[in-house]
Structure 1
Amino acid sequence: MTTILEELSGKKLASATVLFLVALAGFFIAGGVGPSPTSSHMLLFRGCALRRGKLKAKQSLENPVDRSNCPHHVDHLTTEVDKSLQGDSIVYYAKLPLDRSHVVMSRWFQWIGSSFHIDLLTPPDKDRSLTVGFSARLWYANSVDVVNRNSDDEKYSWKRFTKSIINFQRDIECSTTSHGCSDAPFFELMSSHHKYYLINMVHGTGLGQNKVGDIWFSVVHWRPAFMRIIFSIKTILTPVLLVAVIWFGKKIFGQGRQSWPIERLIFCLGLSLILLNFPIDWISLWVDAPWLSLWADIRQGLFYCMLTIFWLIFVCEQFYGEDRVTSLKSYRFFLIPIVLTSAAILAYGLIERGSIINNPFFTYWGKTSTSYTLWAFFMLLSCVCFLYVVALVVLIALTFRRIRLQAEMMQKGSVAQLRHQGRAYRLKFLLGATLLTIVLTGVSYVTHSFNEAEWKHIDGEKSVEISGALYTGVYGLWNLYALAVMILYSPGKSKVEDDGHSTGESSLLVKADESHKRKTIPGNDSL
């Protein structure tokens, strides 16, 4: 049984190549001309000093504290007047968004991350690493009357986002040359369902004689305009991929023959991509669904696993030529490490995000020891990814060399050589698309991983930024590549005869090759 790739004319293949490149350029342009994927803002914690004899600051976290109910406001603690107001006598509070009632948090943000930065009143006597303890609580509201305190109605009061007061610790580096200490992770929200958020915090142990001045914190989230582009792309691509997968499934399972492993892998790759594309994210605009982050990790992990397995088997099959493998067991020594690595990465992501959903202040990056361990893990993962990509690139290069040597071994001008050149040209197109997808996927994955790790580690300026063009471009490339593979690798119109040879173009190639085998060219090996 021949494939459409083997039957496709050169003119049609050239047209398909141009269409592929134009569509790919469109995906890159969609992300490139739009806004950057994320946006960040810097806010200053204000202080509320509690009068002596009143409740301790930690106890006051039982109720929301903001400007409307604070007995003594402390906007900047770096002034001499406020030096006596330290320790558990101050509740720090900040609102999201800023104190402007006409601005609200958008559900298009999808995710909110934050870090904080402490300014000390006086630099420490020596460079040191401090483990600082905090107590905090999050509140939310959906009415501007809560923010402006225009109503005493209970329904217009701040609601508890976290059920209890959360105690957490962060490691920070403080220098003798600066009043400020290093940034540290603060909290993450897996959804941005509410319009307003209030953060109350009290610093506790770990600062010793170092008195706290100002506390700043930065917030980062997805840009609504960029998320609209992503949602639109997913919504458009889902029915296209669904039709293609159904069509391909009928082709390979409805022919009354046993399908090849590579065909079943292509089918599974299409299913995993449909799962990745399916725009279930739209429900986050109406329902508070932080669990969508877990679902995103699952479907993306499944897709990466299927994609890496398909690349390995597809490239190996092309390298070995017509000697098709009838069972995936032949690749088990290569597949087991891929599956185990994917499972380990997925387990880490699910545990981390699941813990954050339960406790927004949870992070593995708050302690120096665990953060460096995770950095080492990301470095190791990047090295494995690099070696995997290099191995596939080498195999593809050797496949190109094999195709060229086969052409040289044939008699010039023979039917076999002409047929081989036509088939080689079409195969090179698919291998070229595979090579492009492998390289860009590797670059995107490593860039995204380091971008996330650097943001969570919060150690100086970022050295890696992910662009909107790369994000949408690689996402579109996955879909175009899967479509191309399903179409070109689907069974063609040629029928399989009783002798096992297919009619049409492929049979001519087989017969020409057999004829050429009987006539060996001096100095060359026969095919």
Structure 2
Amino acid sequence: LTAPSPTTAVPYTSVKCIDVRKNHHKTKWLVPWGHDHCEKLKDFNEAVSRQIEANDIVFAVHIPLPSKEMSPWFQFMLFIMQLDIAFKMDNDLKENAEITLDVSLAYRDDVFDDWEEIAHAIEIRKLKCTFGSPKTLESEGRHYDCDFLPFMEIGSVAHKYYLINIRLPVNERKGINVGIGEIKDIRFVGIHQNGGFTKVWFAMKTFLTPSILIIMVWYWRRITLMTRAPVLLEKVIFALGISMTFINIPVEWFSIGFDWTWMLLFGDIRQGIFYAMLLSFWIIFCGEHMMDQNERNRLSGYWKQVGPIAVGSFCLFIFDMCERGVQLKNPFYSIWTTEVGTELAVSF
């Protein structure tokens, strides 16, 4: 079987729309292009000349690009964000600045359907930017070099079209979005699994699962036919086969017809169980050939080695629940966006 590369990265540039809901606009969703596209701004100079406030500007991104459709075969979507921030003497980027995002995600399956909301959240991202030139009048207009920021991850692509609306609310009294520099554009990179790769991957798992099951049944039947009881190593080999079967069961086929956003979390759990079992198998396999006869064939003799594996696996499970578990309700959440969250993630 020949498959394409596992993932594809697609660049997106947000479109600056004017939020005219106060003028009795029919919908709160602002679309960058199409028959129901929003009223656009070329740049912020136009907004200043037209006396449009920052709170009335919405950055809109349509997924996918024009004349394309998303597919359940893409399995997941991961988005990272990059801000184009220009240097300006009277609006400089403060050290350790934080940007507040009012973000909404919606979907529809037909270009004439109404948008349905998936999630809405107020998120804060810390800006990490450097400026390679002296901060003088001659350097005005040059852009900062800013790190990419985690933006969104969803574990299912069940709809054809998605829409992101981002507002940057400004409140000088509360210090919201003050000292973040002059933002020119918001760019994204969207990453999703290739449909062709998904089909080959599903086909391989569908073929391998019954093969492994047949081997497991044959193996355990041969063990039970012996006159003696199964030894520890034989039991561990069988447990490893069960974990391998668990990770290879092609439950992903259901994600083609159902909007199961928890599939990424479920996949991580299956992988964690398999790798924990694999590492335990190698420890017991080596130990059974090195221990004295009276210490062999007892799982309790390996508690010092297997115990840390269980603790480490549990810590990784807690970390995954703190990241992807929360993303089931809020796809914009990331544990890496705060210093405390980053330290906890690294400690896990």
CA shift, 1:226, in A, is: 1.7
| 1:117 paired to 2:88 | no
Aligned equivalents of 1:237, 1:174: Cα separation in 2 = 48
| 1:336 paired to 2:307 | yes
Partner of 2:153: 188
Partner of 2:28: 63
Residues 109, 321 of structure 1: alpha-carbon distance in 2 compared, 3 angstrom cutoff = farther
CA shift, 1:209, in A, is: 6.5
Aligned equivalents of 2:293, 2:197: Cα separation in 1 = 45
Kept in 2, the 8 Å contact 1:119–1:215? The answer is yes
Partner of 2:333: 362
Aligned equivalents of 2:297, 2:244: Cα separation in 1 = 25
| 1:235 paired to 2:184 | no
Aligned equivalents of 1:53, 1:243: Cα separation in 2 = 66
Partner of 2:135: none
Partner of 2:95: 128
Residues 167, 261 of structure 1: alpha-carbon distance in 2 compared, 3 angstrom cutoff = same
Residues 270, 71 of structure 1: alpha-carbon distance in 2 compared, 3 angstrom cutoff = closer
What is the count of residue pairs matched by the alignment?
A: 326
Between 225-234 and 270-279, report the one with greater CA deviation.
225-234
Q: Deviations over 1:268-293 (max 9, x none)?
A: 11011101110010111111111222
Within the candidate set 156, 168, 172, 2:123 is matched to 168
CA shift, 1:340, in A, is: 0.9
Aligned equivalents of 1:237, 1:53: Cα separation in 2 = 58
Residues 227, 71 of structure 1: alpha-carbon distance in 2 compared, 3 angstrom cutoff = closer
CA shift, 1:139, in A, is: 0.8
Which residues of structure 1 form unaligned runs of 5+? 1-29, 147-155, 379-527
User: Which runs of structure 2 are paired with 1:26-425 in the superposition (5 Å)?
Assistant: 34-50=3-19, 54=23, 63-67=28-32, 68-69=35-36, 72-74=39-41, 76-77=42-43, 80-83=45-48, 85-100=52-67, 103-123=68-88, 125=92, 128-143=95-110, 145-146=111-112, 156-162=113-119, 165-177=120-132, 178-180=142-144, 181-204=146-169, 205-208=176-179, 210-320=181-291, 325-371=296-342, 373-374=344-345, 376-377=346-347
TM-score normalised by structure 1 residue count? 0.58
Kept in 1, the 8 Å contact 2:80–2:149? The answer is yes
State the SS of the aligned residue for 2:65. coil
Residues 51, 332 of structure 1: alpha-carbon distance in 2 compared, 3 angstrom cutoff = closer
CA shift, 1:372, in A, is: 5.2
Kept in 2, the 8 Å contact 1:128–1:175? The answer is no
Aligned equivalents of 2:318, 2:82: Cα separation in 1 = 31
Aligned equivalents of 2:212, 2:48: Cα separation in 1 = 63
Query: If you compute each CA radius of gyration, which structure gives the higher value, 1 or 2?
Result: 1
Name the structure with the higher strand share: 2
TM-score normalised by structure 2 residue count? 0.85
Kept in 1, the 8 Å contact 2:19–2:30? The answer is no
Which residues of structure 2 form unaligned runs of 5+? 133-141, 170-175
State the SS of the aligned residue for 2:271. helix
State the SS of the aligned residue for 2:104. strand
